[in-house]
Amino acid sequence: MKNRLRELRTKQSWSQGDLADALGVSRQSINALETGKFDPSLPLAFRIARLFGKRIEDVFDDELGHARKAAE
C-alpha cells in the first residue's frame, strides 16, 4: 500500500526512531511501512493518521480504490 508516511515524518523533522517511539512500534516497522513492505493494522493506521492530524485516506492510498476512481 502506498503511503505518505516518509513525507509527513520528514516535514516534522522526525527520524524513523522518533516516529516509532511516538507510535509504540519498532524503527524497523516504520522502515517497512515507508518502503511498502508492510501494511499497518487498522488500529496502527488510525494512530498514525491521528498523530499527523490527518485522515487515514490522506496518509494511505488504497491502490485498488485509486485505480477505480481513475477508471470512472
Range of the structural domain that residue 52 is part of: 2-71
Give the integer Cα–Cα distance in Å for 59 and 8. 8
Reported residue count of the chain is 72
Give the predicted TM-score (pTM) of the model.
Answer: 0.82
Contacts of residue 17, defined as CB under 8 A and 6 or more positions apart, other chains included, come to 27, 30
In this structure, what DSSP letter does residue 62 have? -
**Residues facing residue 61 across a β-bridge:** 2
Digits of tens for pLDDT over the chain (72 positions)? 899 999 999 999 999 999 999 999 999 999 999 999 999 999 999 999 999 999 999 999 876 655 344 444
* Number of domains making up the chain: 1
CATH number for the domain that contains residue 52 = 1.10.260.40
